[in-house]
Every structure is written in structure tokens, then in C-alpha cells.
Structure 1
């Protein structure tokens, strides 16, 4: 009776082995290892930063903050325009070609070439289909403001002809926004519409405090605000018809009763999702109030939907208010990415020298913090300067949706002892998940470790040879954790030999019951990587019966 039971268990073990081999062969043969897609999609991203170091002989943009960048994903080209170097506004236009790792100075002074004057705290957006770049807004020092230069000029740069076109000398006169800075601008490429939201309106008599100015573009300005700031509303520019439409007023200054209003702000993020045709608007600052709300604006129906009001009653697992954030969107993956950096509050800045990176999963309505740096000392950042970017504000972050890569350049590190210091470092960020090959390698490792442990019970010399060959060849010996685990496996040769004497029965070369149990554990380990329809139900079978 006992022999029959052991034979049955052995037969069951062989069936499990054949099932594992069948799944392994299916994964091996299927292009892209599609069986692992569900598991991979459920894993958290791991951010990997890499500094991009130009050749010493190459020219490159200098230190700056308050500049603007956009990316043409089709040609893998980044465009950088303007900024503030700590002493003056800049008017240079650069490109960075990712495949050749090369910066090119397109124009040293865009104003001389018929383009916009030197500026910072402006915004740009790109139409990659028609190869056009649009720029709107700028900051002007209080001493430089005159009625003549407070006009909101609006330019378009044609990439193919390398030329600028002045679309409008003053968008305010055309029904668009007045001269604003620290606003947001997003483009609906398909319908050729540009959406502009928020920002502060520059007036002849309103100065900006040092903290407010530093919090936007990183420039120092002495002065104080003697009146309530004026915030700009939500506007739409139709490129094809060269017309502006006001969609919403700021809630504090409605133009007429019943006209739609929206709570305007500066330092916020706004992203356009072409699939659901919505603007996603998040966080920002309104005077001394740091906002943490999150809402969408449907560009077709004009409906506003509140995702999060940013109150203390809501879950705390969202990016904190009061920190400079840069956001990007991947419409294909339905994900929004937010890099949260230095606090805008000068008094809190020294206590908040940290970076955090968040992912918002649109379909699941869920935030996830995939990285948070808890080390805030200057010693830590000097040690990590070649491994990850230091916290900053007034920087720029762009995203290549085709290759799933972010690029960050420059900014203000917020050093109180060096208020004019700006950065010129350039970084690449990849969000990594386990690849199909890595998961397949892990499955192999589980199976071969199990095979080695079974051999160690039956034949130590054969197990040793297997350890030195079949197991060793799939170990990543540059990975310290894998190497340590591999080295510890040798002890199994002796541990299993001691146990063998107590587990062997008369006439049997191996404890069949223990073997069956271990193979079942291996099967459970492997099945975690596969879709649920390929595994046995995890719920109690009795619960599946409807009574």
C-alpha cells in the first residue's frame, strides 16, 4: 500500500515536471515572452538615472534655470530655448540629438534671427507632425516694465526652414492671455489646438517677492507684492484659424456672471491626453497657498472632473504640496510621471533636500511612489552627484514616449550661500521593470536550484558537477546577491547528506514524500509569473460552488 502511494506521488511529480517544461517551452517559443506581460505590468518601476556627459570638445548649453525644453520623439531631438543664468536672461536655441549624443547651437541670439527676445519662465510646446515649436510668455524685471514691453508676444519656430514667425505681437489684444509667466501650455496635435492655463499676469506696478520669484524660475528679485496677484485663466489657441478662445476665468476675477471659472495658479503641471481628450492639471501655488488638488478638463465637453481635492482627509499617498514638480504623460501606457524636488518655501528648503518620483496610473486612479530619497545632507549629495541629480527647481524634464526615456537639464539647486548658482548637468532617466529575459532567467534559476537540491540527496559528486556547470552558467556573477546565494548553495551538499539518513526508507533511494512537497513548492513559485488562467484557483474550491 505504501509502495503504491509513493509510486503515485512519483507519477504526480513527473506530471508536474512535464507541465513546467511545457510552460517553459511556450514562453521560450512565444515572441516577446507574452505570457509574462501580466506579471511585468504589476511590478513597480525602478528609476535608473544616468548622467549624460558630452565630449570635452563639444559645445553645450551653459548653466541656467527657467529655460524651456520640448522633444521631437520621431527624430529623437530635444530643443532647449532661453532661461536665466543667474545674471541675465538668455536667447540661445539648442538641440540635442539622442542617437549621436551631440549638442548643436542652432541660434546664439534668436532675436537677431527674427525670433523672440531673451527670456525665462516662458513656455514652449511642439507639433512633431508639422515640425513646429510655439513659445509664449516671459518674466520681466520690475525695473524693465513699460507699457510698450508688457505685450504678450507669441512666436512659432519652423524646424525645417530654421526660421521664426511672429504670430502675434500681443495675444491679449487677440482675445488670448495677457503677458504671463510660470503658466502651462499643452498641445492637441491632431486638432492643432494649444491650451494655456494659469500663470501670473505681469502688470506695471506689481512686484514679486524674492521667494515667489525664486520659486518659479530661480531668479532673485528684491521687492514685495503690494496688491493681490492677478492669475490668468484657461485659453485655447486654434493654429489653423489663428484665433484665441477664453474657456475659463480665474475664480477670483470672473469676467461676467455665469462664465465658467477655474482656480488658477502658478508652478503647476498640465498634461494633455489625446486618447481621452482631457487636460490633467495638478498642484501649483496661489500666492502663499500651496495647492495639492488634481482634476481633469474635458476639452470637448468643457467638463471639469475632480480626481482629488488635496485635503488632509484624503489618502496621504500622493505627491506632497509645496514642492517643485515636473510632470510628463505616456498616453499609450495611461501613466503620468511626476518628479518632485526642492521645496519652493525658502525657509523649509534646507530641511527638504530630497527627490521623489511618482507614477499615476490613470485607469486605476492610483498613485505610487517608486522612489524617495531619504538622505538629505550635503555630504550625501556630493557623494551621489554622479549617480542621481540633486534636488532642484527651475529645471526642465521632457519625455520620449517612443523609447520611454526622460531627460532632465539644469535648474536652481537652491543654495542659500550661492543664490546665483545654476546647474548645467544633463541626465537620462529610465523606468525599469523586469524584462521577459530576466524573468525567464529567474525561472531557470528556480528549476536548476531545485534540480541541484534533489541531486545533492542522491549523488553529491553529480550535484557538485551540476553546481559548477549548469547552475553556475545562469548566475549573474556581477550581481553580489546572486553570487552570495550561489556560494551558499555548496552547503546544501552536506546538509542534505545528513538528512538523507533519516528520510530514506528501506528499498528507496529518496524520500518521495519530501520530493513531492518540494516540487509542489517549486510549481507554486513558477506559477506566480504566469497569467491566472494557467494556474489552479487560489480561492477555496468550496467557495466556488454556488449553493
Structure 2
């Protein structure tokens, strides 16, 4: 359905509902669409359903009459006008061939009528079952159920649901009911209790890690508070180096043992200079470290140095571990064509004046042997990476390392020193050397050849074009304080760039940089990556990647004049869809190549694609307005769970909008913002049964945070159960235990300037699972059994059941469940006085299996049936009886007669 108006007008339709059916009578119509329209001249298109019914059985939806309920105009004081409305047909893919014919209209109407009749019978069956035996509802249910055709009976509910109702509600066989739930788990009744499955809730469990009691008196037993430090995991150890404590840079090295029961930090190096010791990196902050798991080396690069200190001398105070965010106008963003490594080195001759200044801004590059022979040894790889054809001295950058190819990637960050020649050069300049722009681009270091490669920088705008900006940029812009994630998929390793800061703006965009695979066999047609169940996923994201840019860079030694127009475009621009090829196979450097494997130190970038926000022309643009996404921020920390491919995001420094401010387009305006530290955990998970057209099958969700199961008494005594908001902290992920650790950081911009945090937290993401659903269902069953025991069995028996059986299935770390468990004592204390008798508690005493006939049998049925319906909500909707109640029919009819609208 498409709607359009000639121009903005107060009479334009703003809110409406579309109905359709075989009769003009309102009660016989189906709701097709409900929504609103924008008050402009742009056509809007909406999809309307062509089928009704869920997974129990779909039927075609024939429409002869349409009705539009117009609710509100663009201006509520005006009448409503519809200017232009038209419908487009739909042809299923199976009927695209000329020989295929649509079923006749009589067949479609018959299928729809059968569906309505089946649905009506299901509603009647559910109603009769709710009436219970006291109103002869069960007898009528059995008669009607046996008279229906097998198809209608099979679509009503799962056989296990029917058996559960028989044993739980009618007979009160509690143990047998739990065994049926066990069989239901094996049969897939809890299949929707998975990440992204639609049921259950993902919870972030926090546990604060304290100093072990045995080490409380030891010296150097815990790192001091800091921010802007670096932290990595090497095997079963966590290494922490450097940081800013609020007054000075730190150079100490610490180790956390993940295998120890209580953990605990151990100081490996104090950071104090001593004569006769081997060379080691000096104190620093805002640097980065990555790990080569195959060799056991930890690589360290970057560090912030205050430019004022370069003038004032060594006693000058260092800057904070947060970017100072200068409020200067944004200039044009551009980058040189990709230079060769010799060009980078030659471009630096004469750029520095004075030996002292040159020494101060040297970008030293180190690696540390964390495991294996030579453990504990520092090695200086380069005294100045800029002089070796690499990046300048960086801070607030991001690094990842791909061990299979022995390549280290560095993206973003700020170059030091930065001296713009004019206000227009403050971000980048098309004629500026890539190490002298404000923001650094994407660099690659080959660990085997020990060579740097400059892959891309800020995009160079074509002539007579507007400068790309975070407001509406189709190009990947450099930034600082962002998150960089590596998905080491063997098919195509992919770098993900998320959020960050550029000039005065916080970015909300998400970009993917797809690299060429290692092998030459089948760039396409190869199986996708393995999902959690071991089954290869279909490659359903090719449509998204086609929207991006193929960037197979030509070899840098190739003269520009000899390149084809497409290759020349690839060498100077990041996004130019009219000039670049449409597939990786036809990219410039791949034409004529015999293999995808390359001996060049420069990795092949196949595509750069913006995943969020969607382009304005995309069908996802409308959905993006209401999509739940994390707020843009600075130093947001992102980790990848290799088991599920899901992401976990810990928010950092954000700028919150006042209620009257506008927001959109993937950026935030600095002059409208109020900075604060936001404590929060977000999860990016795959959505089952969703195609790439609907969003590539991924979505963000805000995770509820709660207290973990460890050290609860200590945490409660200290009055803190979750970490406070912070930024400039560091996190590491343990894929073996699927836990995330966070240490330190700056607590808040409104707090003490010199205060830094020194707390250590462990985060465990508890995802929905069939086992958790089974436990919760048994908790409900046993709680109802306990209530009946309080009325029908000796109190001491009920108390024993409460302490043993019911307590065994309670999640005591859940506030709601623990509160529900504690409320059970009220039922025990209100038990009838005749139940206060002494009985033996040995195993010879059997618990009552069903309520006595003379003890409110009808009330017991209603309570058990309510319990059964609640347990059935754990199952998929196609496996249980309808949730709608026929008792609401008379009320709905009165509403229709009075208003003609839905209630």
C-alpha cells in the first residue's frame, strides 16, 4: 500500500487503521495495518498481510471490502483528507513461471473460511476447559474435542500440553507433571528460550572481586586507581600496564590469575627506573595492547603526551586521560592517496625541528613475552614508528591482532603532535601527510616482515562536493575513543568500528571492514561460519555487502597513470559506487590474479559497509527511528563472544539530550549535551528467522543488571552491587568461562578531577536457556504444591518441603524469585490450626498427591488451571491453546456497537 500527498497540509492524514475482509460488516473484517503518516509530499509505502494465522496454520486472506478508519489529522483542529492511495499486488516466488497459476478465488475463500472455523473451535475448547468440572465444562470439552476432525484437534495444542493438564490440573500428580516437563524440554517445547528467541530475559550478573584475605597485608597487592590504562588476556592470565592516576603516568605491570579461586593481582614490574635493568617502556596512558595468541607476545603502541609539557618542560602537569575536545570549527576531511612505505619515511625528513622535540614525539613500539621461553622480557621493535613508515605517536586509538595472518591493525586515534596550518586543516587535509592529520586512519603491521602499511585515512572529498561529516557520512571517518572489534571468521575476517568521538561530536555509526580470506578456494559459495549448534549459517548478508564499497586496493607500486578508471577511483576514494565494481571478483587488483592469496604485506580490503544507521533510501530507515540502540559515547568497550557471535557493550562517557532537543542521523550535537558516565550493559544478538532484508538478523538489547552469586554479603555490607558509571576503563573477555572483567577508569566528569577507580568486577551474561525455563516452570509447580500442602498436610511436612524441594529450584540471586520464595512463609503461618500436629519426618511418610475432595475442589481446579496456563506460556504459541477468552466477546461487541472501533 502506498500513500502520497501533494504537499504538507493540516488536513493530511496522520493516524489511521486499515481493515479488509469479505463483508463490509466491521466484525467480519481483519486488521491489515495501523500506523501514521508524515506531513510531507514524500510517498510512503506500507506492507499489508496477505495471510492470517500463525505457525499453527496459515491461510490466505481474501479481501473484497476495504475500510480506512481515519483517527487524527496532521492538525487536530482540521478535518481529514486522503489525497492519493493505491495498492500493489503480490506474486509469490513460486508462481513466477508462466505455467504457474494462482488458485481460484473460491479455493482461497474456502481456505480462509476453514481457518476461521478452526480458530472458533479452539476458542470454544479453551473456554470450556476454563469452566472446570463444576460447570460441566470438562464433559462438554471432551465431547467437542472428540467430534472434531484430526487436523483441528492436532492444531489445538501439543499432546504434552494436554497430558500436562490431565496430570497437573485434574489429577494433581505433581511428580508426573514434572516428568512431563522434562520430556517437554527434550521434545523442544522450550526452544524459544534461547538468545534472541523471544522468551526469557538476558541478565548481566556482576560480582566485585576483592583482595584475598591472605594477601591483605602484602605489599604491591593491588594496583592503584587509574584510567587510560591497557589490559589484555594472555591464556589464563590478565596483564595490566600503565595508566593515569590523576596526577602522573604509571609504568607498572600487573598480572591477574584467572585459574586461582580468589584471583588476585601480582605486581610483575613496579615501573620504577633502575640501573642495570633491561629496557622497558616508560610510563604512559591512553595506549593500547593486543595479544598474539600463537606466539605469546603482547604488543604495545601509543601513549598520550601533553603538548604543553613539550614547552614547559618535564615538570609540566600531564593532561587527563580523556580527550580535551577542543571547540574548534570542523574543517574539510580528506586524506592523501595511499602512499608507499618509502614515501612515508621520506615525507618525514625535515618535519621535526630540534632533537629534543623529535625525541619527545617518538612513537616507540614494544612487545612483551608473556608465555613460553623468555617470559617476562621486553623487546623494542621500533624507536619511532613514524620514521619506519608507520603511524605517528597515537592516543585514544584502537588495535586488534589477527593471529592467522600475523597482522596487527590500528585504526583511529589522534596524531601527536598536531599543528594545523589553518582552521580548515584541523581535522584532515587532502595534501597533508597521513601522520600529520588530527585523526589517524587505518594502519596494518605485518609481524613477520616487520613492515607498516597505510590502508586508508579520512576520505578525500571529490571536487565540488561537500565535506563528509558525522551528520550524513557515507564514508568511514576517523575518530578517537571508539571500539574496534575483530571477527576472525575464516571466510572473511571483518573489522567492526563502533561509536567514538570526532571533534565535538559523539558518533553512533557502526561500520564493517571486510578483509579477503586466507585461501583462494571459493571467495563465494563457501559455507558461512558455524553457529552455536554446529550448523553452518547461510550467507544471507550478501545484499548488505553489495550496498557497501568494494575496496580491493591496487598495489602501491603501480603508477597511478597506468591504472584503469575504476582502479584510480579505488585508490583515492572510499565510497564511489558509480566508479567501483559491484563484486569482489571484479575488483581492480583481482582482475587477472590467479589466486586470492597474496604475498603482499598489504591486506586486501574487499568492502567497507555502514551497518548503522541505514542509508536514507533503505527500507530500514523507517524502522531505525524506533530501534533500540546504545547511546553514542566515548571509550565504550566492546567484546565478542566467539561461541554465539554476540557482542557485549559496556557504555562509557555519553552526552544526554534535554527533553526538548532533537536527535537523529547517527550523531549528537555538543552544544545541546550534558556529559555524564552511563552505567549500562548492551547486547547485540542474532534474531532467529529474520532475513537480511529485515536488518541482517541482528538487534541491540539493553540488559538488566543484577547482583552475582559470589560475595553477596561483602557487597551488601559495602552498599554496592553493580559497578558505577565510568569511562577510560578497560575490559577483557574470557571465552573459556564466558566472563568479562573490568578494572579502573574515571568515575564521573562531575567528581574529583584527580580521583580514579581501582575496583575489579566480573561480568557474567546469563542468557535464556531451556534448562533455565525448565527450572522456572518447576518452581511454579512446586510453589503451588506447597500452597496446597499448607492446607491439606501437617505444617511440619509443608515446612520440610519448603526447605528442601522448593528451595532447590529457586534462583536466590533473582530479586523477584527470592521475594516470592520468602512470601511462602505467610502461607505456612496461615495454615489451619488442625494441621499443627507432630508427625515423623523420615522417608516413610508420603506427601499427599492430590487435594481432598471435601477441601474446596473447585477452587483447587481454578488455581491449578491458572498455574497450567502460566506454565504453558513458556511454550511456543503454536503448541498451546489460545490465550484469548470468549468471556470478553460480549464486551467487545458492545464496544463495536458504540464506537465502531477496536477496543
Q: Tell me whether the two structures share a fold, i.e. TM-score over 0.5.
A: yes
Aligned to 1:234: 442
Aligned to 1:139: 304
In 2, distance between residues paired with 1:434 and 1:485?
25
Q: What displacement does 1:409 show? A: 1.2
1:391–1:417 CA distance, 2 compared to 1 (3 A): closer
Unaligned runs of 5+ in 2: 1-132, 144-161, 311-356, 422-435, 463-473, 517-604, 616-620, 657-669, 688-696, 707-715, 833-852, 885-903
**Secondary structure in 1 aligned to 2:205?**
strand
Aligned to 2:287: 122
In 1, distance between residues paired with 2:402 and 2:862?
58
1:280-429 to 2 correspondence within 5 Å? Answer: 280-300=496-516, 301-309=605-613, 314-315=625-626, 317-343=628-654, 352-362=676-686, 364-371=697-704, 386-414=720-748, 416=750, 418-429=752-763
1:6–1:487 CA distance, 2 compared to 1 (3 A): farther
Aligned to 1:13: 166
In 2, distance between residues paired with 1:410 and 1:136?
20
**Contact between 1:342 and 1:349, CA under 8 Å: does it hold in 2?**
no
1:48-67 to 2 correspondence within 5 Å? Answer: 48-54=205-211, 55-58=215-218, 59=220, 60-67=222-229
**Secondary structure in 1 aligned to 2:405?**
coil
Aligned to 1:486: 824
Q: Name the stretch that deviates more: 474-483 or 413-422.
A: 474-483
Aligned counterpart in structure 1 of residue 269 of structure 2, from 107, 113, 128:
107
Q: What displacement does 1:353 show? A: 4.6
Q: What displacement does 1:487 show? A: 3.1
1:389–1:448 CA distance, 2 compared to 1 (3 A): closer
Aligned to 2:799: 468
In 2, distance between residues paired with 1:323 and 1:237?
26
**Secondary structure in 1 aligned to 2:819?**
helix
1:448–1:315 CA distance, 2 compared to 1 (3 A): closer
1:14–1:118 CA distance, 2 compared to 1 (3 A): closer
1:322–1:44 CA distance, 2 compared to 1 (3 A): same
In 1, distance between residues paired with 2:805 and 2:740?
32
Aligned to 1:525: 870
Q: What displacement does 1:291 show? A: 1.0
1:394–1:461 CA distance, 2 compared to 1 (3 A): closer
**Contact between 2:239 and 2:255, CA under 8 Å: does it hold in 1?**
yes
Aligned to 1:224: none
**Contact between 1:285 and 1:322, CA under 8 Å: does it hold in 2?**
yes
Q: What displacement does 1:22 show? A: 4.4
In 2, distance between residues paired with 1:406 and 1:386?
19
Per-residue deviation, residues 366-402 of structure 1 (Å, max 9, x unmatched): 11111489xxxxxxxx997632222222211111122
In 2, distance between residues paired with 1:397 and 1:49?
14
Q: What displacement does 1:199 show? A: 0.6
1:483–1:428 CA distance, 2 compared to 1 (3 A): same
**Contact between 2:783 and 2:806, CA under 8 Å: does it hold in 1?**
no
**Contact between 1:283 and 1:292, CA under 8 Å: does it hold in 2?**
yes
Per-residue deviation, residues 391-444 of structure 1 (Å, max 9, x unmatched): 222211111122121111112224556322222222222222467665444333
Bigger radius of gyration among the two? 2
* Larger relative strand fraction: 1
Unaligned runs of 5+ in 1: 208-227, 255-259, 374-381, 495-507, 541-547
Per-residue deviation, residues 192-216 of structure 1 (Å, max 9, x unmatched): 2211100111126479xxxxxxxxx
**Contact between 1:453 and 1:492, CA under 8 Å: does it hold in 2?**
no
After TM superposition, the score normalised by the length of structure 1 is 0.76
After TM superposition, the score normalised by the length of structure 2 is 0.48
In 2, distance between residues paired with 1:167 and 1:281?
27
Q: Name the stretch that deviates more: 382-391 or 262-271.
A: 382-391
Q: What displacement does 1:233 show? A: 0.7
In 2, distance between residues paired with 1:537 and 1:135?
60
